[in-house]
């Protein structure tokens, strides 16, 4: 099994490629997306090439600018899974310390 960092890097590259595809499918330029997301063109390039050092706000801003933010939120919702729905009535444990 690959190390977590290898899997994270692969996922970042894949998401970056998907964001690029979304941008091109919509006929948007990199400048248009970066302006809509409120980030620099260089930051968008970093996201599209899979740089994992980009901040979450920039990443989510690009998802919003591309119209995929809601799908991203739904994809990470545990209650949208079979396990989450099966355990929805249970009380989740609370963390004592963060």
Separation between Cα atoms, residue 19 and residue 21, nearest integer Å? 5
Q: What is the pLDDT of residue 89?
A: 81
pTM of this prediction? 0.84
Q: pLDDT averaged over the chain?
A: 92
Tally the residues of the chain. Answer: 98
Homologous superfamily of the 4-67 domain (CATH): lambda repressor-like DNA-binding domains (1.10.260.40)
C-alpha 16 chain-centroid distance: 9
Can you give the pLDDT of all 98 residues of the chain as single tens digits? 567 799 999 999 999 999 999 999 999 999 999 999 999 999 999 999 999 999 999 999 999 999 999 999 999 999 888 888 888 887 767 765 55
Q: What is the pLDDT of residue 95?
A: 67
């Amino acid at each position: 099994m690959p190390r977590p960092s290898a899997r994270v890097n692969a996922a970042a590259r894949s998401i970056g490629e998907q964001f690029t595809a979304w941008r091109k499918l919509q006929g948007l330029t990199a400048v248009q997306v970066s302006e809509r997301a409120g980030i620099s063109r260089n930051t968008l390039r970093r996201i599209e090439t899979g740089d994992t050092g980009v901040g979450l706000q920039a990443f989510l801003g690009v998802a919003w600018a591309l119209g995929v933010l809601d799908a991203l939120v739904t994809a990470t919702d545990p209650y949208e899974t079979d396990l989450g729905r099966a355990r929805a009535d249970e009380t989740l444990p609370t963390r004592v310390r963060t």
